[in-house]
Amino acid sequence: MRVLKSRPKGVIRHLFKAVSFFLVGVLLSTLLVYLHTPVMPVGAQVQVTNTASGAFDDPTNPNRPRVRAPSNPTTIGTPPVENQLLRITKTADKSAAEPGDIVIYRLLVENISAVAATPLTVMDNLPRGLEYIDDSVNSAPIPPNLTNFEVAGRQLNFQFDSLPANSLLEILYAVTLTPDSVRGSGVNVATASAPGFPTAQAEFSLTIRPGILSDCGTIIGRVFVDKNFDGEQQSGEAGVPNAVIYLDDGNRIIADPDGLFSMANVVSGNRVGVLDLSSLPGYTLAPNLYRLENNSQSRLVRLEPGGLARMNFAVTPTFGEGQN
């Protein structure tokens, strides 16, 4: 009797070959599909056509068939022309600045196509704390002519009649840094656009140093005897010494012999101070006949970076003692 031996290694080898041929076929098919798929150029992506449709059951037919109602197509954008491209570059005369400095920005717009960009619109968004200096815009060459320029908050809008093909435009303007600039990022973005052209974008980052200013401010104030209840200290209304004021950040301030107090290096923002009446035996809060918000032990002030804010507290002797 003859026994046939199995050959598992041969079976595995044939199976491995079959799987390999299958995977190679899938890869080749994917590659052919990719090569035959047209790639839309950048200039062609500025126009989008959109349609919508709805469906309902026809109430006039007993069988109530489904009826589809298409809408009219809507086109968003401007029909592009092949290879219409703009390029924008933004620079400045300083890479770092501090509050009080003047920075000159430079925008270079290039039309690297064979057709004119008509009209050309350039928008520049300034970072927080940077203010445009009036009448500082200068563009070259002329033409193109600056037909419209407006400042809307921190956004600068330039509009030119036309930028010829294969030409460039330079825009210069100046800004000044305010104390609030230390709270901004220093990053601004400029764009250039024209009908039929994809929008070009450039970004510039300005490093802002605090300089002699900082993100903190100073709070000053006084505690005094208010005899006429108007909330303001006049001649004959003495200060109250040793009054204690607590700030919302936990700091404790004690008034001097004239009732004056101050606190430096307070973090900017909305700050609250509260008068501790237990530190003034024999006194109570004086009513204010003119400002309702001052009929409280607390004061709310807005402290800007590097700024100064005042909070006064008016008191009166308990039981009317000392009033004339």
Q: What is the DSSP letter of 6?
A: P
pLDDT at 323 over 60: no
State yes or no: pLDDT of 79 exceeds 80: no
The amino acid occupying position 127 is: P
Domains of the chain, each with CATH number or no CATH: 86-208 (2.60.40.1530), 216-320 (2.60.40.10)
Checking if the pLDDT of 1 tops 60, the result is: no
Q: Are 311 and 293 in contact (CB under 8 A)?
A: no
Which is more confidently placed, 2 or 211? 211
Residue range 239-269, pLDDT digits in tens: 999 999 999 999 999 999 999 999 998 988 8
pLDDT score for 42: 40
Residue 5 has pLDDT above 90, yes or no: no
> pTM, whole model, 2 decimals?
0.49
Nearest CA among 90, 138, 94, 80 for reference residue 110: 90
Q: Is the per-residue pLDDT at 41 higher than 50? A: no
Which amino acid, 273?
G
Q: In this predicted model, what pLDDT tens digit does every residue of 165-210 receive, in sequence order? A: 999 999 999 999 998 888 888 999 999 999 989 999 999 999 988 7
Closest CA to 159 of 121, 107, 201, 195: 121
pLDDT > 50? residue 45: no
Q: Which two tokens stand for residue 238?
A: 């003495």
Q: What is the DSSP letter of 163?
A: B
| 168 SS3 class | strand
pLDDT band, very low/low/confident/very high, at 69 (cuts 50, 70, 90): low
Count CB atoms within 10 A of the CB of residue 265. 10
Cα–Cα nearest to 127, from 149, 150, 97, 148: 97
